[in-house]
Amino acid sequence: MPELPEVEVVRAGLERHVVGATIEAVEVLHPRPVRRDHRGPTGFAAALTGQRIEAVRRRGKYFWLALANGDALLGHLGMSGQMLLHEPGALDERHLRVRFTLAAPAPLVEGAPAPGSRPLEMRFVDQRMFGGLVVSAGGAELPSEIVHIARDPIDPEFDDDEFVRRARRRTSAVKRLLLDQGLVSGVGNIYADEALWRARLHGERPGDRLTGPVLRDLLGHVRDVMGQALAQGGTSFDALYVNVNGESGYFDRSLDAYGQEGEPCRRCGTPIRRVAFMNRSSFFCPTCQRPPRARRAGRR
């Protein structure tokens, strides 16, 4: 379940291997992952063919390849998406959806031998197909499709004051606010639960009942847990998430709350609880993370 750290690992891997390469051919094997492209699979492929990749960028869980003509190939991994790099001719994955044939990749990291002009396949693989790809016209700097997405917490230009101001005007539960990509992007169910556990905050506390310092502290924990995951190459729970070179991350061994139902809280020993929230699961320590008192009816 890729969240910001996993997507950043993918972005960095792509940056290292495909910047400078030209897209020679595009093969769409399933229409669904390109559903957001109004030109359809054929138009999608045509818009990319012949384009040179100049940069790989990211905001929240979205990443995009900036193309020489100013357009962008914008992608989201959804729940089970992967971007893999292969030598041509490697066996197709069961859930291979789009194949890009690239030519003349950029030199590898400094110090490494120049690879010369060798072909390379970039593959979008996605079992559940919540993810997708779209060609964004003029989107090389910031695709118009994602202008509504807030900056993410590790973006140097993320505005903590604005986040706190907006969150404190919202009546929604703080976990819902963390998952609101218009408020802060890149946070999913896993890192939301981890950050809330670290902040000793119950996810159902309403935003407008939290103080500025509490929200700032929570933001700090979001950054900490993401930074640690990033340092370890992303989280993985099964073979679904693999980074750009096909290697699994291993941050799942460091989780304190998510998926830990029944396990003793690492701080106080109380068994971690699981409850349904927003049609998904929330994991928390019932001792460290006290639920909110009910809002009194009729208050102004």
Q: Is residue 248 within the footprint of DNA (CB under 7 A)? A: no
CB-based contacts of 91, cutoff 8 Å, min separation 6:
none
Find the part of the chain contacting DNA (CB under 7 A) among 15-23, 154-162, 187-195, 285-293.
Answer: 187-195
Asked if residue 187 lies in contact with residue 4, where contact means CB atoms within 8 angstroms, the answer is yes
280 is known as an active-site residue: yes
x/- mask, DNA, residues 213-242, rule CB under 7 A, reads ------------------------------
Only one of the segments 49-57, 128-136, 226-234, 243-251 lies at the binding site for DNA (rule: CB under 7 A); that segment is 128-136
How many CB atoms are closer than 10 A to CB 299? 5
Name, in order, each residue with C-beta under 8 angstroms of 55's C-beta and a sequence gap of 6 or more: 15, 19, 65, 66, 140
Q: Does 117 bind DNA (CB under 7 A)?
A: no
281: exposed, middle or buried (Cβ count in 10 Å: 0-12, 13-18, 19+): middle
Closest to DNA by CB, 78 vs 220, is 78
| Whole-angstrom distance, CA of residue 186 vs CA of residue 104 | 32
Nearest-angstrom CA–CA distance, 224 and 252: 15
Q: How many helices (H) and strands (E) does the chain have?
A: 6, 10
When asked if residue 273 is in the footprint of DNA (CB under 7 A), the reply is no
Q: Does 188 bind DNA (CB under 7 A)?
A: yes
Instruction: Give the integer Cα–Cα distance in Å for 38 and 252.
Output: 38
Instruction: Point out the catalytic residue in the list 118, 128, 209, 280.
Output: 280
Instruction: Please report, as residue ranges, which positions from 44 to 103 form the binding site for DNA (by CB under 7 A).
Output: 60-62, 76, 78-79, 94-95
Rule CB under 7 A: say whether 8 interacts with DNA.
no
Among 56, 135, 140, 179, binds DNA (CB under 7 A): 179
Nearest Cα neighbor of 251 from 190, 189, 295, 174 is 190
2 belongs to the catalytic site: yes
Residue 280 interacts with DNA (CB under 7 A)? Answer: yes
Catalytic positions are: 2-3, 61, 280
Return residues touching DNA (CB under 7 A): 1, 3, 32, 35, 60-62, 76, 78-79, 94-95, 127-130, 145, 166, 169-173, 176, 179, 181, 188-190, 207, 258, 278-281
